[in-house]
Amino acid sequence: MADLLNNPWDVAEEDFPWNGSTSEKLQFLLHYAVLAPSGHNTQPWLFRIAGDTIELYVDRSRALEKIDPQGRELIMSCGTALYHLRVAIRHYGYEPVVQTFPDLDDPDLIAFVRLGRPRAATLEDHRRFMAIKRRRTHRMPFDPVPVPDAELQALQRVAQEEGATLHVIQDPDRKKRLAALIAEGDRIQGANKEFRRELARWIHPNLVRVRDGIPGYARGLGDLRSLTDPILVRTFDWGQEQAEQDRLLSENSPALLVLSTTADNAVEWLAAGQALDGLLLMAADYGLFVSFLNQPIEIPELRARLMDLIGGRDFPQIVMRMGYGEAPRETPRRPIGDMLSINRYL
């Protein structure tokens, strides 16, 4: 078998095992899948390589029960890993063959993925692949530079190709309304002890060597301040402070985005996750950064109001802001060996 890297970020394009077996190729490709974003960087996926097939499972032991009781963001996170995998497969010259939810008796089995017929990678495939290693979540303010319409339209097309709709919110009045919903979400979440406890479990001081969760530097914190952050997040109601910060960040971002689907079930969440990843990779290719502000979707009353704001028919699945800025450092990923499981949950 090909090497399993301890740090998936070290995967190198030229190390693809061209002369290896199919399962060696699949194993190599998984290094790219796990560079995908996930809620709180939980990396809630498991893989099994069975012959010529990757089986992708959701790892429910990594579910965020307080913030995401339905498992909506959990399945979306599996969708981002699936899309990363599809991009890598295309880059190496194969058509990805994907069967989603292949076993009606096992809702945790998200997809079968195989290498299909050989096909030459297009320039677009190559650009999306190169963006995998550049994409980061960017939580700082963006430069006051507008995003070109042509790029926003291209992002909308990629979302549509995956079965979702991307709403672009740029007009100041609607931005204000959305920013107010985000701020209201912060106040509700900050006041909720259980929510704070769950978040605090997934944020880590900069110098702690854990391979999942959100390091302090990704939240803009220096080494010293990051030491106390998990305790502060767990203990105090920071809702008001966060609300003000997020309101300003949102109103001052060049564009706010809402990704939506026509229904609200696991099939649509998986599609939304793939649409999200498609647009994140395309944005990274354009030199844009994205940050997530899902508070209004995570609180049912606010989600209903957000639904009205985007036209009243579609189900909002993710809220983002987008713009230009300096590239943040990458966040850690677990080694593939930790996720290659034959006996799930044993």
Site residues for ligand FMN per CB under 6 A: 37-41, 73, 76-77, 80, 136-137, 139, 214, 292, 294, 331
Smallest gap from residue 330 Cβ to ligand FMN (A):
6
Minimal distance in Å, beta carbon 93 to ligand FMN?
26
Query: What token pair was written down for 87?
Result: 């991009």
Residue 340 phi, psi (nearest 5): -90, 100
Q: Which is nearer to ligand FMN, 25 or 73 (CB)?
A: 73
Closer residue to ligand FMN (CB): 140 or 207: 140
Query: How far apart are CB 288 and ligand FMN at their closest, in Å?
Result: 14
Instruction: Select 147 or 276, whichever has its Cβ closest to ligand FMN.
Output: 276
> What's the DSSP call for residue 118?
E
d(CA 8, CA 333): 7
Q: Whole-number minimum distance, CB 148 to ligand FMN, in Å?
A: 23
What's the min distance (Å) between Cβ of 85 and ligand FMN? 15
State which residue, 109 or 276, has the beta carbon closest to ligand FMN: 276
**What's 137's DSSP letter?**
B
Which pairing describes strands 214-215 and 203-204: parallel, antiparallel, or unpaired?
Answer: parallel
Nearer to ligand FMN, 148 or 220 (CB): 220
Are the CB atoms for 219 and 41 separated by under 8 Å?
A: no
For ligand FMN, give the closer residue by CB, 185 or 254: 185
User: In angstroms, what is the minimal distance from the CB of 34 to ligand FMN?
Assistant: 10
318: enclosing H helix or E strand: strand 315-323
Residue with nearest beta carbon to ligand FMN: 37
Is the Cβ–Cβ distance between 95 and 122 less than 8 Å?
no
DSSP 340: B
CB atoms within 10 A of CB 221: 17
Min dist. Cβ of residue 70 to ligand FMN (A): 12
Are 133 and 250 spatial neighbours (Cβ–Cβ below 8 Å)? no
Select 53 or 242, whichever has its Cβ closest to ligand FMN. 242
CA-to-CA separations, 208 to 78, 196, 223, 226, 337, in angstroms, rounded: 26, 20, 10, 10, 21
DSSP 134: T
How far apart are the C-alpha atoms of 4 and 29, rounded to whole Å?
Answer: 11
Min dist. Cβ of residue 51 to ligand FMN (A): 30
Beta bridge partners of 72: none
Residue bearing tokens 């593939």:
336
Alpha helices in 42-162 (DSSP H): 72-91, 123-132, 149-161
Nearer to ligand FMN, 114 or 133 (CB): 133
